[in-house]
Amino acid sequence: MSSKRPAAVQIREVGPRDGFQNEPESIPTPDKIRLIEMLAAAGYKRIEVASFVRPDVLPQLADGEEVLRGIRVPADVELMVLIPNTRGLDRALAVRDTFHAASIFVSASETHNMKNINRTVEQTLADDVGMARRILAEGLKLDAVIATSFGCPYEGKVPLDRVLGIAERYAEMGATEIGFGDTTGMANPAYVADFFSAALERLPGVELTAHFHNTRGQGLANAYAALEVGVDSFESSFGELGGCPVPVGSTGNIATEDLASMFEEMGVETGLNLDAVIAAAREAQSVL
């Protein structure tokens, strides 16, 4: 057994946000609530449940407040919401007692960031400083996510130093967890190993989370590569729901069922009841 492989990992379920937002039709609020509660019962300790994007841009997630108010999960389940901008933060803080962690984000690639949220990376990071302060002042956990960390569909390879430089700025803002997204599935296992080895060295004390996409079939191989260099925090989507809306058609979150079963068979604990995750995935398919 490799010396850096962790004995246990955390898996955050992102299907209720990353997944539902990429479905063509909106899922009725009561179904979302029921599915999130099924996921919590499957053993997840972290679930991303809502995004406060403008409702006209993402009608699929317009019911964030209602979902948050409706869900009943055990006290040790951390609920996370995605915050795109200060208006989204205002909306989230109006229901502040319904969740535990707030996630702010940027794309490492200038072009992807512009196409996704219509701001430069520097403008985004400048806004994020103020948002981070407000999130921390509320006693919430601050997460940051860096999209296109392993490559950009428009710019190609994104320099490692650029990505880790952004990560260091988020750490300075007070983020205790930083997620690295392979937004369009461009990572490969060798690069992932180099990337996370460097990241773990440069960001001591910060939890580093790997979020891979299966666009080119390399999602699980990348997760394995990250695990072997010591990464113990992952994100995935039950039933393989979702992906990324920019560019259109680039889907492919790795399936939680696949990720968790790989880890469990390797002797790495996930805390998940696989049968219950699969049952929730089947239930989601029947709703969609």
- For residues 255 and 236, is the Cβ–Cβ distance under 8 A? yes
Given the complex with Zn ion, which of 253 and 256 has the nearer CB atom?
253
Cβ 167 to Zn ion shortest distance, Å: 18
Cα–Cα distance, 77 to 74 (Å, whole number) = 6
Stretch that binds Zn ion, among 16-24, 33-41, 105-113, 140-148 (CB under 5 A): 16-24
Assign 154 to helix, strand or coil. Answer: coil
In the chain, what is the straight-line distance between the N-terminal and C-terminal CA atoms, in Å? Answer: 41
Q: What is the total count of residues that contact Zn ion (CB under 5 A)?
A: 2
Cβ 195 to Zn ion shortest distance, Å: 17
Instruction: Name which of residues 239 to 258 contact Zn ion (CB under 5 A).
Output: 253
Cβ 129 to Zn ion shortest distance, Å: 25
> Does residue 127 interact with Zn ion by CB under 5 A?
no
Single-letter residue type at 112? H
Stretch that binds Zn ion, among 15-23, 106-114, 131-139, 191-199 (CB under 5 A): 15-23
Given the complex with Zn ion, which of 32 and 211 has the nearer CB atom?
211
Given the complex with Zn ion, which of 98 and 182 has the nearer CB atom?
182
Q: Among residues 18, 48, 63, 228, which is the contact residue for Zn ion, using CB under 5 A?
A: 18
Cβ 194 to Zn ion shortest distance, Å: 22
The answer for residues whose C-beta is within 8 angstroms of residue 134's C-beta and 6 or more apart is 89, 93
143, β-bridge pairs: 103, 177
The active-site residue out of 83, 104, 171, 244 is: 244
Given the complex with Zn ion, which of 98 and 151 has the nearer CB atom?
151
Query: Does residue 242 come out as left (phi exceeding 0), alpha (psi in the -120 to 50 range) or beta?
Result: left
Catalytic site includes residue 244: yes
11, β-bridge pairs: 234
Cβ 133 to Zn ion shortest distance, Å: 27
Given the complex with Zn ion, which of 52 and 180 has the nearer CB atom?
180
Burial of 203 (0-12, 13-18, 19+ CB in 10 A): middle
The answer for residues whose C-beta is within 8 angstroms of residue 203's C-beta and 6 or more apart is 164, 167, 168, 171, 178
Q: Which residue has the tokens 């955390």?
A: 10
Report, as residue numbers or ranges, the catalytic residues.
Answer: 244
Where does this chain bind Zn ion (CB under 5 A)?
Answer: 18, 253
